[in-house]
């Protein structure tokens, strides 16, 4: 899986977002449901534990500040944005899941967690 090409990092994108919406770090944090210290760490390019922002926080940024697309935000964070999941696709996946044995479900869950972790860390 290729890493997304990055033209600006998350700190630069947040500087533009703050200017565009005239909001503070604290206001961003409040609107996306994270601690102000979390946004501050993104602004100052600090990575606690080597992890970047959670997927949910990046998606919340796109939702709360719609002049910035999810794809643009994920790219700035050095990650690929998650693919869409329609109701039909979710139903198909759940039906396939139900056809697996308990051991197979556990194995797939481990695999899915590893893929999600890989996406979260940008590797």
User: From CA 122, how far away is CA 66, in angstroms rounded?
Assistant: 23
Q: What is the mean pLDDT of residues 31-49?
A: 88
pLDDT of residue 41: 93
Closest CA to 79 of 102, 51, 39: 51
Q: What is the mean pLDDT of residues 65-94?
A: 91
Residue 24 and residue 103 in contact, taking contact as beta carbons nearer than 8 Å: no
Rg (C-alpha) for the chain, rounded Å, is 17
Q: Is residue 62 over pLDDT 80?
A: yes
């Amino acid at each position: 899986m290729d890493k997304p090409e990055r033209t600006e990092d998350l700190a630069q994108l947040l500087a533009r977002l703050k200017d565009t919406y005239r909001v503070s770090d604290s206001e961003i944090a409040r609107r996306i449901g994270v601690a102000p210290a979390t946004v501050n760490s993104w602004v100052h390019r600090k990575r606690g534990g080597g992890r970047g922002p959670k997927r949910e926080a990046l998606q919340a940024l796109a939702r709360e500040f719609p002049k910035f697309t999810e794809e643009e935000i994920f790219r700035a964070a050095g990650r690929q944005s998650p693919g869409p999941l329609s109701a039909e696709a979710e139903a198909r996946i759940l039906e396939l899941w139900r056809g697996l044995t308990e051991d197979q479900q556990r194995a797939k869950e481990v695999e899915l967690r590893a893929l999600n972790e890989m996406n979260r860390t940008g590797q």
